[in-house]
Amino acid sequence: MRRFATLMVESQGTMARITLNRPQQRNAFDSVMVAELGQAFETLEQEPTLKGIVLAAAGSVFCAGADIRWMQAESPVSEARARNDAQQLTGMLRAVDECPCPVIARVQGAAFGGGLGLLAACDIVVASEDATFALSETTLGLVPAVITPFLLRRTGESFLRRYGLSGETFDATTARRFLLVHDMVPPHALDDRVAELSNAIMKLAPRAVRDSKVLFRRMPTLTDHDCRSLGVDVNASARSGPEAAEGLSAFLNKRLPSWAQTSGRQTEEASTSEHGSLRNT
């Protein structure tokens, strides 16, 4: 994979890590970062052996939302320019949301504005207990319109009315209560918890995980009847497939399935490497 101007992309075996890398700008989005994030996810999803992605950020802040200097590059900004930027941001969030493998967000410091949309597009969000959050768009005369579909699905209308209409900063406990954050840990335990989740994912059947993610995303858009029909179809397809045959055989014979054996070797290699971190590609 090529190198990026605003990101670091690393990989080791079946896991990858994308790091927002504009710490001096508090990892705020500009046109380059938006484009590169979309490109990075679209490229990684083509890797057939990839099992998961960790989305992290360099420095003390996860993401401060959109870069004000980028937003105000023209004054006033034309509607055509604003529409194009909004479409690019939507495309990037969709690339994260529709990534076929699980995406784990590692959150430290602040996540404001568009940063909340990024979290809502991830599958699992782990935050430091001292992290802070805000839907800050209205304090700038903006509307959080692009990120609302992702937040609405994750947190619900009540959350949006409460924090989108007040602009108040809220803590990780509140973020977890509204399901924006799943796991909240002390700052020193953040990397350990992300590693635990990554290792758990690596032990799962990769095709089953990808099919489950598609199923979970699709079912809320269907009628009850179609949900039941889809459930029968997906269940039958998985049960009659090679992964189920291997998994059930491994269970009955008291051995690890083939995919878990591979993940075990990768985990051991990572723990004994010089830094215990992901390698730069």
The H-or-E segment that residue 89 falls in is: helix 79-97
Which of 21-35, 128-142, 217-231, 249-263 comes out lowest in average pLDDT?
A: 249-263
User: Range of 271's domain?
Assistant: 205-280
For residue 1, being part of any structural domain is answered with: no
211 lies in the same domain as 193: no
pTM: 0.91
Section 225-244 average pLDDT: 97
Q: CB under 8 Å to 15, separation ≥6 — which residues?
A: 50, 51, 52, 53, 54, 198, 201, 202, 266, 278
Query: What is the domain count for the chain?
Result: 2
Section 242-261 average pLDDT: 95
The Cβ-side half-sphere exposure at 156, using a 13 Å CA radius, reads: 8
Query: DSSP string covering 200-218, please?
Result: HHHTS-HHHHHHHHHHHHH
Q: In this structure, which amino acid lies at residue 53?
A: I
Q: Of the residues 166, 200, 234, which one is the last residue of a structural domain?
A: 200
Q: Of the residues 157, 178, 200, which one is the last residue of a structural domain?
A: 200
Q: CB under 8 Å to 110, separation ≥6 — which residues?
A: 26, 61, 62, 63, 64, 131, 132, 133, 134
23 lies in the same domain as 158: yes
Looking up residue 225, the CATH number of its domain turns out to be 1.10.12.10
In the chain, DSSP assigns E strands to 7-12, 15-20, 52-57, 103-107, 110-112, 124-128, 132-134, 170-171, 183-185, 279-280
26 lies in the same domain as 74: yes
193 lies in the same domain as 232: no
172 lies in the same domain as 55: yes
Q: pLDDT for 149-202, tens place per residue? A: 999 999 999 999 999 999 999 999 999 999 999 999 999 999 999 999 999 999
Instruction: Give the bridge partners for 54, in sequence order.
Output: 17, 104
26 lies in the same domain as 71: yes
